Amino acid sequence: MNEFSLSAINDRISEASDFVQPLKDGLQKKVVGQKTLLDKIIICMLADGHMLLEGVPGLAKTLTVKTLASSISTGFQRIQFTPDMLPADLIGTLIYNQKSGEFDTRKGPIFSNIILADEINRSPAKVQSALLEAMQEKQVTIGENTFKMNLPFLVLATQNPLEQEGTYPLPEAQVDRFMFKLIVSYPDIDSEKKLMRLNTQSSKNAEENPIVKPEKIIEAQNIIKDIYVDEKVEDYILNIIFATRDPLKYNLKDLDGIIDVGASPRATINIVRAAKARAFTDGRGYVTPEDIRYIGADILRHRVILTYEAEAEELSTDQVISRLFEKIEVP
């Protein structure tokens, strides 16, 4: 890319990304102590992806998603997944109209912009499959009719890592459709003190106006596709991905026999898309290796599957990914 075209994309991004900082500030006023979570949800949304959140209850996952939806003036639906749920409860169904003698379409809660799929692993496989089809294709078929999803469309699904009884674990092929898997951690002590005061003292809950219009998000998603990625950065991404498939080739002898299944080509594509979105939030028209390092673990975490030997040695996926980033040379 020549200097002129890079300058042009920088100018476009500077103008189009003016909502990012006000959006972050607005979210952080209501969601305390989860700055990384907020940043990565914004990156995921701008990259036109979906996110799997894993964390114990009470870490503001629902509040975060509701606040995001109100900040963008979009529709929001929280769907509680349960073992007795049917696909029709999610996507909708056909209902017979006695007056007209025809079947009318009754759309389900999936027809919104931002979806919180709470405890997705509590529902049967056919319900999970219906959700993941909507995520991938951005359309839903009810009877003989196909309906497009409202844009922007973002699914944030949650899993509770503690209670595994009576759950239906997501198959690896379906988990792979989530761009990010984020581990939501506890806030630090200062943030929790602020959170405690915010929720136990009287305060003026003034009605806040939306910070950004949905059209602005869709425009940003289109501009992000034009962000420049240098060939050296592309090679850096490919080296990381291929190191998960063949560690010995990259002199990672300590990971030989540790990784059972490496990252798929979808991981490569998602790293590029998310890195471009991260560059956009920083007001840049080009991707740096730091962008890759910032989002890399969240994209690889659910795609790199370890062997039984790794589990016996009590190695976690995060430790393995961290080792990859230490060893692969940064351009």
Task: Indicate whether 260 and 197 sit together in one domain.
Answer: no
> Do 239 and 164 belong to one domain?
no
Q: Which two tokens stand for residue 207?
A: 């009605």
In a domain, 2, yes or no: no
Rounded to the nearest 10 degrees, the angle between the axes of helix 35-46 and helix 20-30 is 140
Domain match, 193 and 253 both:
no
pLDDT at 278: 96
Burial class (CB in 10 A: 0-12, 13-18, 19+), 17: buried
Query: Same domain for 23 and 146?
Result: yes
Residue 244: per-residue pLDDT: 93
> DSSP per residue over 183-234, as a string?
EPPPPPHHHHHHHHHHHHS----PPPPPSS-HHHHHHHHHHHTT-B--HHHH
CATH code of the domain in which 236 resides? 1.10.8.80
pTM of this prediction? 0.90
CA dist., res. 198 & res. 202, Å (int): 8
Domain that holds residue 99: 18-201
Q: In this predicted structure, what is the pLDDT of residue 109? A: 92
Q: Are residues 166 and 233 in the same domain?
A: no
Residue 48: the pLDDT is 93
pLDDT of residue 6: 79
User: Does residue 206 form part of some domain?
Assistant: no
> How much is the pLDDT for 208?
64
In a domain, 26, yes or no: yes
Q: Is residue 209 part of a domain?
A: no
Is 293 found in the same domain as 190? no
Is 46 within 8 Å of 5 (Cβ atoms)? no
Return the structure tokens found at 177: 């459709």
Side chain identity at residue 225, one-letter code: K
Looking at the fold, whether 26 and 170 belong to one and the same domain comes out as yes
pLDDT tens, the chain, 331 aa long: 555 477 888 888 988 888 999 999 888 888 877 888 899 999 999 999 999 998 877 777 788 888 888 888 888 899 999 889 999 999 998 888 888 888 888 899 999 999 999 888 888 888 888 888 888 888 898 888 889 998 899 999 988 777 666 677 887 777 888 999 998 888 888 878 887 887 787 665 555 678 888 899 999 999 999 999 999 999 999 999 999 999 988 888 888 888 888 899 999 999 999 999 999 999 999 999 999 999 999 999 999 988 888 888 888 899 999 999 998 888 8
CATH number, domain at 193? 3.40.50.300
- Placement of tokens 């973002």 in the chain: 154
Is 41 a domain residue?
yes
Give me the number of domains the chain comprises: 2
Nearest CA to 163 out of 128, 123, 122, 125 is that of 122
One domain, residues 183 and 90: yes
Between strands 92-97 and 102-107, the pairing is antiparallel
In a domain, 22, yes or no: yes
Residue 214 lies in a domain: no
Q: Are 212 and 71 in contact (CB under 8 A)?
A: yes
Residue 308 buriedness (CB in 10 A; 0-12 / 13-18 / 19+): exposed
The pLDDT of residue 3: 53
pLDDT of res. 1: 54
Question: What is the predicted pLDDT for the residue at 115?
Answer: 92
C-alpha Rg value of the chain to the nearest Å: 21
What token pair was written down for 294? 């910032």
279 inside domain: yes
